[in-house]
Amino acid sequence: MDVSTEHRNPSSHECYLDRMARELTQRELRNESGEIMRALDRGESFVVTRRGVPVGELKPIARRRRFVNTAELLESFKQLPPIDYEQFRADVDAFVDQDPTPRD
Q: What region, left, alpha or beta, does residue 24 occupy, with left being phi > 0 and alpha being psi -120 to 50 degrees?
A: beta
**Domain boundary assignment for the chain:** 5-58
pLDDT, residue 65, reads 67
Tens digits of pLDDT across the chain (104 residues): 333 344 444 444 444 444 578 999 999 999 999 999 999 988 899 999 999 999 999 999 876 667 888 998 898 888 888 889 999 999 988 888 777 787 77
What is 29-90 written as a DSSP string? HHHTHHHHHHHHHTT--EEEEETTEEEEEE---S-------HHHHHHHHTTSPPP-HHHHHH
Question: What length is written for the chain?
Answer: 104
Q: In this structure, which topology does domain 5-58 adopt according to CATH?
A: YefM-like fold (3.40.1620)
**Model-wide pTM > 0.85:** no
